[in-house]
Every structure is written in C-alpha cells, then in structure tokens.
Amino acid sequence: MTKLTLGTQPFLLGFEQLERLVERAAKSGNDGYPPYNIEQTSDRSYRITLAVAGFTEADLSITLEDRQLTIRGRQSDDPEGRVFLHRGIASRQFQRTFVLAEGVDVGEAVMENGLLHIDLTRHVPETVVQTVPIKRSGVK
C-alpha cells in the first residue's frame, strides 16, 4: 500500500508545511496526562482547559513557538521531613502540546479551581480576489 501525501497531489500546491504540522502533531508524545477539554466558545474562539490540580501558577509555563502551543508543569519537590503513610496523589511533571492553525492567536491564561483555561482566537482572513492579466506572447 502506498502512503498518500499532500506533496504528491498535483492540485494541492504549497501544502507541504501542513503535512509537516500534521506529522509533528502526531509525534507530540502526549500521554493523556493531564486530562483536558477543548471547547468552541464562539464562531472564532476556543478554550483549552487542563486539569492541573495541585499545581500553582509558578509550577506552570505556557510557550508558543512556530505555531506549537506547549504547556509544561513541574511541581517543586516535597519538603524534607514529610512522612507519607499512603501516597496516592502523584506529583509528576507533564508536557502537553497543541499545534495551532495559522491565524489562531493565544489570548489569556487563567487558573480557576485547579483548572487552567487558555483562550484562543481565530482570525478569518479577508477574501482577496486578484485578476491576473494575460500577456500576448512575443509573436514576430
């Protein structure tokens, strides 16, 4: 079976970067932690919500690089001298990534009741109609 790629389609010109974005998203290595929701809040806006109970704002970082939104969490180590009889609440680090489409901007991030909300806005580009003149070939 042959793998069908966007670059091999003669009617899809200039979509090589889209193919690379899809491959990068597939390799992002998200392991399911922390759980998250993505909701559409309007025609042009979205909200990503991550369940980050036990993390503080200082334990979290949000970066955007080359249209890849990365949320990292790293809790500080427990203070010395604590003795746990049972430890069922894991303190583990995480990295969750989302590949954003061109024209999607990251808005504010808010912590509320153990949930991290990140608002996104999609800008719809204006439709541009361009007429291309046809020149006559140099006939002699």
Read off the pLDDT of residues 108-118 as tens digits, 9 standing for 90 and up.
999 999 999 99
Read off the pLDDT of residues 81-114 as tens digits, 9 standing for 90 and up.
788 899 887 778 999 999 898 899 999 999 999 9
Confirm whether 112 is domain-assigned.
Answer: yes
The residue segments making up the domain with residue 56 are 30-77+89-124
Q: What is the pLDDT of residue 54?
A: 87
In the predicted model, is pLDDT for residue 3 greater than 80?
A: no
Q: How many domains does the chain have?
A: 1
Q: In what order do the strands lie in the sheet with 94-99?
A: 60-65, 68-73, 94-99
Closest to 57 (Cα-Cα) out of 4, 111, 137, 129: 111
Confirm whether 23 is domain-assigned.
Answer: no
CA pair distance 109, 112, nearest whole angstrom: 10
Confirm whether 51 is domain-assigned.
Answer: yes
65 pairs with which residues across the strands? 68
Confirm whether 120 is domain-assigned.
Answer: yes
Confirm whether 118 is domain-assigned.
Answer: yes
Confirm whether 58 is domain-assigned.
Answer: yes
Q: What is the CATH number of the domain that holds 49?
A: 2.60.40.790
